[in-house]
Structure 1
Amino acid sequence: MILEAAFLQVKQGLEDEYEETFRKASKIISSMDGYVTHSLQRCLEVEGKYLLLVTWGSLEDHTVGFRESAEYQEWKKLLHHYYDPFPTVEHFEKVSL
C-alpha cells in the first residue's frame, strides 16, 4: 500500500465551493483501479489549507493508472483551478516497526 499526501492551498474565499466540488470529484478517484481510500482534512491554523490523503494499492495505481487516465482529466478540470500555489504530491510507504 502507498499513501499519497498533498498539501492543498485553496484560493481565499473559495473554500466552501472547493469542498462541494471535491465531494463530486471524490466519485472519480474512488472509482479508479487500485484506489483504497481517501480523506480531505481542513487545517485549523491556516485558512484555506487542506491535507489530502489517498491510499493506493501501488505507486503505479496513482502515477500511471490515475494520472494517465481520462478520469484524471475530469478531476483536473474540476479541482486544479482552486489551488495557489499548485500542490506538491508525495508518496509514502509504511515502515515496519
Structure 2
Amino acid sequence: MIFEIAHIHIKSATHAAFEAAVADAVPLFRRAAGCLSMALERSIEHGDHYRLVVGWQTLENHTVDFRGSADFLEWRRLVGGFFEAPPQVEHMNTVLTGF
C-alpha cells in the first residue's frame, strides 16, 4: 500500500465550503480502483493548509487509474476553485511503525 499525500493551501475564509466539497467527493474515492482509504487533515498552526491522505493499493491506481478517470475531473471541479496554489502531491511508503 502507498499513500498519496496532497498538501493543499486553500483561499482564506473558505474552510467550511472546501470541507463540504471534499465530503461530496468521498464517493469518487470509494469507487476508485485500488483506493483503500481517504482522510482530510487540517493544520492547527496554519488553518488554510490541509493534507489529503489517500491510501492506494498501487501507485498506478492513483497516477494512471484515478487521474485518468472522469471521477478525477469531477474531483477537481468540486475542489479546484478553493486552491490558493496548486496542490503539492507526493507518494509515500510506510517503512516503520512504532505501535
The 5 A counterparts of 1:10-25 are 10-25=10-25
Counting aligned pairs with the same residue, the percent is 33
Q: CA separation in 2, counterparts of 1:32 and 1:68? A: 11
CA gap of 1:44–1:64, structure 2 versus 1, over 3 A, is same
The 5 A counterparts of 1:13-92 are 13-92=13-92
What value does the CA root-mean-square deviation take over the aligned residues?
1.2
Q: CA separation in 1, counterparts of 2:73 and 2:94? A: 29
> What amino acid does structure 2 have at the position aligned with 1:30?
R
CA gap of 1:45–1:35, structure 2 versus 1, over 3 A, is same
**Equivalences, count:** 97
Deviation per CA, 1:12-66, whole angstroms, max 9, x where unpaired?
Answer: 1111100011100111112101000011011100021111110000000000000
Q: CA separation in 2, counterparts of 1:76 and 1:26? A: 13
CA gap of 1:20–1:96, structure 2 versus 1, over 3 A, is closer
Q: CA separation in 2, counterparts of 1:30 and 1:9? A: 24
Query: TM-score scaled by structure 2?
Result: 0.92
Unmatched tracts of structure 2, length 5 or more? none
Query: TM-score scaled by structure 1?
Result: 0.94
Shift of 1:96: 5.5
Unmatched tracts of structure 1, length 5 or more? none
